[in-house]
Structure 1
Amino acid sequence: MTTRIAALTQQILPEIIRIRRHLHQHPELSWQEKETTALIRDWLADHKIEFRSAENMYATLALIPGKQTSPIVGLRADIDALPIQEATEVPHRSQNAGVMHACGHDGHTATLLGATWVLAQLREELPGTAACVFQPAEENGGGGRELLASGFLNDLDIKAFFALHTWPYIPLGTIGVRYGGMMSAIDDFKIIVHGKSGHAAHPLTAVDPVWISAQIINAVQGLVTRERHGADPCVITVATIHGGIADNVIPAQVEMAGTIRTIQAETRTRMVRRFIELVQSVAQTFGATAEVAIEHGYPPLLNTGHLVELIAQTGTELLGADKVIELHEPSMGGEDFAYYLQKYSGAMFRLGVGPRPSLHSDKFDFDDNALAIGINMMATVAMKFLQSSS
């Protein structure tokens, strides 16, 4: 079966490369993926693959029932781009000013179209159904959360979900796997430190929120270095600070914003609570007050162990054991595939495209040489899961 999947992958590959480059040329931001979705649906229709269109969002579900309709395995790709002006010189660079595929979602979409087609050619031998989800708004808007909350998949008894993500930090020709926590939870914060304005030459008559904010920035790093286990990842970053309009005036307030990243649920709860307590207590110590607002974002992405093992075994079979890299540290970035893994068993793996510029760089472009590996992996993992579950 793996030989047939590999042959079918090579058969569809030239078309998938063209699609990937077209998607790269025509990127669309989160919740605006109209033309991307039209391309996906037209392509599925042209290849006689059944699909459903979501209401009120640009989501598409391709369904490939096999010789039996259950079990069902889910495959997911994100389709949106980023608000970045592309600086590459490739012929297929973005034609949409200020928007580019800097995170590989063009490659994810093209890969899943290829895997969908391969599985459709094998439907007579497919021991179940493949449900392939093309999801909007991963980058900015929690499209995964909204799609699941909409009930779009509720009538399907999906037993497991799989996804891949481009990874320029491991070599082309490899995949990366990680057991357990793969990506972090996101909790963004905004702080307003309220002091008392006054003349910069007479700080005794004021309560200086600029200086107090500096104490807060230093203090919260103590949470990372002193209030967590060394093997329990956590990042706290103050990313913006704004205050004051003149060099001789102590302002009345300073605003800061940033993010807290954690992997473990208990650590997430404790760090957010202690962060609020510490910010407010430092401000109070120096005669100020602090408002702290927390915006809870994506949960941590927690892979299911035996499904990571399935991916690793498949990668070893298709690529060789030396091409399957176990990632020993999680990424502290966020990923809304985490919402799927709160509801379903499943796993994400990394698709190596390195060396390349980093994700979210204006110089990043997906490597088309990775498409065949991605298609082959996704189709084979889906087939193997159905075979083992039927």
Structure 2
Amino acid sequence: MNTLDEARKLKSWMVKLRRDFHMYPEPSFEEVRTSKVIAEELKNMEIDVAAVGKTGVIGLLKGKNQGKVIALRADIDGLSVIEKTGLSYSSKNPGYMHACGHDTHITKLLGAAKILSHFKNELCGSVKFIFQPAEELGAGAAYMIEHGVLENPKVDMIVGMHTFGLIEIGKVVVQEGFLMASIDTWHLTIEGKSCHGSSPWQGIDAMPCALSVMKGFETIVTRFNDARNPVVINIGTVNAGERFNVVPGKVEITGSNRTFSEYSREMIPKWMKKMIDNVCDTYGCKAQFGYEMGCGPTVNEIVSTEFVKKSVVGVIGEENIIQIPPIMGSEDFASYLKKVPGTFLILGGGNKEKGYMYSQHSNYFTIDEDCLSVGASVYAQIACDFLKN
């Protein structure tokens, strides 16, 4: 079977489907319309459908015998981003946009499901299609795992794929080992004592304390952490003050941290806490520090990655398989890889000639829809090769 030819036959259907998803992005764990459409499409293919919680969806395509089980996963949530693409099918949900390509992920996986449903009698085993909510929160994969997505039947290998707007269409990243970093989030409240802006000595200004703490976080990256293990400490929001003539008595800060190193990941909150306590003591402030561990780094298993590479080469050729430096962005697909052998691919969706070269989460994020056929065929080919014996 030439899966790329089969996928190209579905292009108009996939484009229409993708644009529909693009128009109606939904928040994490609130993807009600999206999951409803997914379930309807799977049922039309005569694929068994099961709901997972409020918005998770599993499709199970059974081959001619029980055999092995391969899982293919797509994330389905949108982002709280205001779309500025000007496309005719721009978001109709104010304040939300499919700015990370999840609309293409859903469509590629549904395309693969449609292809495979036509050839199910040739499959020795089953394909489990996982449509997962809340990837943008880093919580959806763990939620699906807790609800048994990898069991009944037990998954032997799992594959995921992400569309990247800055990688040229027709290219696919297939590489073993560390691909994406971990992500953990934190919030910090620094409390001083507000007073009139004309008499700052009558209070305790929380602002200079907060600035010193934030500057200290830079030292953690450059002096505490081993420079051979990259770390990112990102300060995302800073909120302080009530009026122009009042000394701020409280500063609230939130952020996120990323790394590939388990040691650095364990030590960062300890280093941060020490920095916060020492600086606050100097300025006479108090602090409340909360830290939440998210998903770990995405590490592609060697054997699965080598197997998948052969399938991808069969679809697009060796010359279109590329390697990239590990990405400091994160993916909760990492949670599946801790439980089951598998690999995570990156699909090129950019096109310089068409002017489609946008980074993820951009208000202008746009992809070349020809990538849908490539993604669907890659998914289908991997499943066929895994289940052909």
Q: TM-score, normalised by structure 2?
A: 0.92
Residue in 2 that maps onto 1:337 = 333
Contact preservation (8 Å) 1:57, 1:136: no
Identity of aligned residues (%): 31
Does the aligned pair in 2 maintain the 1:242–1:255 contact within 8 Å? yes
Equivalent residue runs for 1:184-199 within 5 Å: 184-198=181-195
Q: 1:6 aligns with which of 4, 7, 26?
A: 4
Q: Tell me if 1:237 matches 2:234.
A: yes
CA contact (8 A) 2:47 2:61 kept: yes
Seen in structure 2, the aligned counterparts of structure 1 residues 370 and 247 have a Cα distance that, compared at 3 Å, is: same
Q: Deviations over 1:274-302 (max 9, x none)?
A: 11111111211333232211122222222
Instruction: Please say if 1:18 is aligned against 2:43.
Output: no
CA distance in 2, matches of 1:27, 1:204: 50
Q: Which moved more, 1:104-113 or 1:184-193?
A: 184-193
Q: Distance in 2 between matches of 1:325 and 1:173?
A: 10
1:350 to 342, 346, 351: 346
Alignment match, 2:370:
369
The within-5 A match list for 1:51-90 is 51-54=49-52, 56-90=53-87
Find the aligned partners of 1:258 and 1:6 in 2 and give their Cα distance: 42
Residues 120-146 of structure 1, C-alpha deviations (whole Å, 9 max, x = no match)? 222222122111111122223722211
Deviation at 1:382, TM superposition (A): 1.8
Q: Offset of 1:152 from its aligned partner? A: 4.0
Asked whether the equivalents of residues 78 and 102 of structure 2 are also in contact (C-alpha less than 8 Å), the reply is yes
Contact 2:138–2:294 (CA under 8 A) maintained in structure 1:
no
Q: CA deviation at 1:118?
A: 1.3
Given candidates 281, 285, 290, the residue that maps to 1:284 is 281
- Counterparts of 1:168-317 in structure 2, within 5 Å, are 168-198=165-195, 200=197, 203-317=200-314
SS in 2 for 1:70: strand
Runs of 4+ in 1 over 4 A off after TM superposition: 198-206
Query: In terms of mean alpha carbon deviation, does 193-202 or 124-133 score higher?
Result: 193-202
Task: Give me the whole-angstrom Cα distance separating, in 1, the residues matched to 2:196 and 2:43.
Answer: 70
**Aligned AA (2:330):** G
Q: Which runs of 5+ in 2 are unaligned?
A: 351-355
How many residue pairs get aligned? The number is 384
Work out whether residues 302 and 341 of structure 1, in 8 Å CA contact, stay in contact via their aligned partners in 2.
Answer: yes
Amino acid at match of 1:84: V
Q: Residues 52-99 of structure 1, C-alpha deviation per residue, up to 9 Å, x if partnerless?
A: 233x32222111222321210000111121222222222222222222
Residue matched to 2:121: 124
The Cα shift of 1:172 comes to 1.1
Is contact 1:75–1:132 with CA below 8 Å preserved after alignment? Answer: yes
Whether the 8 Å CA contact 1:184–1:301 is kept in 2: the answer is yes
Provide TM-score, normalisation by structure 1: 0.92
| Mapping for residues 14-163 of structure 1, pairs under 5 Å | 14-54=12-52, 56-140=53-137, 142-163=139-160
**1:96 and 1:198, CA in 2 relative to 1: closer, same or farther beyond 3 A?**
closer
RMSD of the alignment, in Å? 2.0
Which is further off, 262-271 or 174-183? 174-183
Q: Alpha carbons of 1:193 and 1:353: their partners in 2 closer, same or farther (altered >3 Å)?
A: same
For 1:198 and 1:92, the matched residues in 2 are separated by 51
More off after superposition, 281-290 vs 208-217? 281-290
Residues 187 and 121 from structure 1, CA distance in 2 versus in 1: closer, same or farther, beyond 3 angstroms? same
> Is the 1:280–1:291 contact (alpha carbons within 8 Å) kept by the matching residues of 2?
no
SS at match of 2:65: coil
Please give the alpha-carbon distance, in whole angstroms, between the structure 2 residues aligned to 1:201 and 1:141. Answer: 45
Distance 1:124 1:213, change over 3 A: same
d(CA) in 2 for partners of 1:168, 1:287: 47
Cα distance in 1 for partners of 2:28, 2:120 equals 33
C-alpha spacing 1:169/1:263, structure 2 compared with 1 (3 Å): same
Contact residue 193 and residue 204 of structure 2 kept, 8 A? yes
Q: Quick one: structure 1 residues 72 and 82, their matched pair in 2 at CA, closer, same or farther if it must change by over 3 Å? A: same
CA contact (8 A) 1:73 1:160 kept: yes
